[in-house]
Amino acid sequence: MEKHLKTKPDDLTNADPQAVAFLAKAMGDENRLRIIMVLAKGKKPVSRIVEEMGISQPLASHHLKELKRALLVKVERSGPFIYYELADHRIVTILANLNSLAAELLASRKAF
């Protein structure tokens, strides 16, 4: 399973567990992950995020606020519209790696 990882255990020597936990917690919600997946395709206004996800505007705004608080998304205002985009494209790489790991781990699981 480690064939996908490009880091070594030594790469975590100076890791900040509190910072990593903060980001992981922010991404630990299915709606937030879905928002990140929508934003992986590019900058979008809230209305487009709501439309693509099929959720309410208040729910989308709540999760976008949390992603912004965690510095995972950037906000740009243009007239009456607010656009969101990922703060760093490495977020997509991390989620793709987590998705691959989850698929491999869950494929070997016999019971929940």
pLDDT in tens, 54-104: 999 999 999 999 999 999 999 999 999 999 999 999 999 999 999 999 999
> Above pLDDT 90, what percent of the chain?
81
Rounded CA-CA distance 34/27 in Å is: 10
In the block, tokens 């009456």 appear at 80
Q: What is the mean pLDDT of residues 37-45?
A: 97
Which residues neighbour 63 within 8 Å (Cβ) at sequence distance 6 or greater?
29, 31, 32, 35
Domains of the chain: 17-107 (1.10.10.10)
pLDDT of 110 strictly over 80: no
Residue 20 φ then ψ, to 5°: -65, -45
Does the global pTM surpass 0.85?
A: no
Q: Is residue 60 a contact partner of residue 15, using CB atoms and an 8 Å limit?
A: no
pLDDT band at 40 (very low <50, low <70, confident <90, very high): very high
